[in-house]
Amino acid sequence: MVADLNDDPTEFCVCRYCESYDLKAGVCNITQNRVGAGYSCPDWKPEPTWHKDREVIKSKLTKDFCQNVLQLLALRQRGTATEEIVKHILTTEHIYTLRSDEKVEMWIYKDGIYLPAAQTYIKAVCREVVGSAYTPQLSNDIIAKICTDTYIEPDFFFTVRNPLRFCVANGIFDLKTCALESFNPGEFHFTKIPINYAPEAKCDRILKFMNEVVSQEDVGVLQEVFGHFLVRDYIQAKAVMCHGSGRNGKSRLLELMKRFLGLDNCSNITLQQIEEDNFA
């Protein structure tokens, strides 16, 4: 599930733009910028996705539907028009709104996981349906209706029901059965490991690297650590620390861990922050 790294750790570079981490010459093959070990391109920008989202939205709309909504608006049947858009969105998307009187938080299902981006998606759909007739009030009315129709208790929504199941790029993986299943909106997942699971894949060079930086009996321990990363629960109240002199593979191992889990699923917190902040 993890691609191999370069043999020479001094030449190991990573680009957070294209997610390449086998950059022998230290040059990103997408941006053509030089990158430093463990750092991103100096002027990297995230790949825009708005055009992809728009194509997905358009693929779910028909010309007749859009014309019908515009006709209702022209006849000043605003309530009926918004109901039609609400019905379309709730038919084609999976949306949940956390029940709370303090703030509105709406989640939408996309590519296997739920994201807190339902409101912006609804606005984009409204704009695509009515075009120049779009107004903020129109989308706000639709958001309010969908919000009321999709309430869910936060405790139920965020409770981890099976800590041995998690999302990878090509499905839901079950650690107990070692089976890959199709994405299912009925399972509430909020993070995804950005790697395609391939049961036949080998990681000979990674195992070679592990054998070079730790003793043979500790290679299994390292593999267990990677395995514990995948469990969505704290089954053991333990921490792992890398100890040793300089240039012995610690930074490279930590970077491998981050690439394994995905950069968006990792955070960097110092021991001082953990000591001083109970919520770190």
Summarised one tens digit per residue, pLDDT across range 147-178 is 999 999 999 999 999 999 999 999 999 999 99
Residue (of 101, 139, 137) closest to 120 by Cα position: 139
Residue 64, domain extent: 50-158
Sheet with 106-110, side-by-side order of all strands = 113-115, 106-110, 95-98, 151-152
Q: What percent of the chain is predicted at pLDDT more than 70?
A: 81
242 belongs to a structural domain: yes
In a domain, residue 3? The reply is no
Confidence of residue 1 (pLDDT cuts 50, 70, 90): very low
Question: Do 65 and 147 fall within a single domain?
Answer: yes
In a domain, 206, yes or no: yes
Per residue in 243-278, pLDDT tens?
A: 877 778 888 898 899 989 988 888 888 888 888 887
Do 166 and 154 share a structural domain? no
* 152 and 56 inside one domain: yes
Q: List pLDDT tens digits, range 97-156.
A: 999 999 999 999 999 999 999 999 999 999 999 999 999 999 999 999 999 999 999 999
Let me know whether 69 and 141 are in one domain: yes
Regarding whether 109 and 63 lie in a shared domain, the answer is yes
For the chain, helix (H) and strand (E) counts, in that order, are 10, 8
Please report whether residue 34 resides in a domain: yes
Per-residue pLDDT at 183 exceeds 90: yes
Contacts of 188 (CB under 8 A, 6+ apart): 114, 157, 158, 161
State whether 89 and 143 are in the same domain.
yes
57 or 278, higher pLDDT: 57
30, 17 Cβ separation under 8 angstroms: yes
The pTM assigned to this predicted structure is 0.77
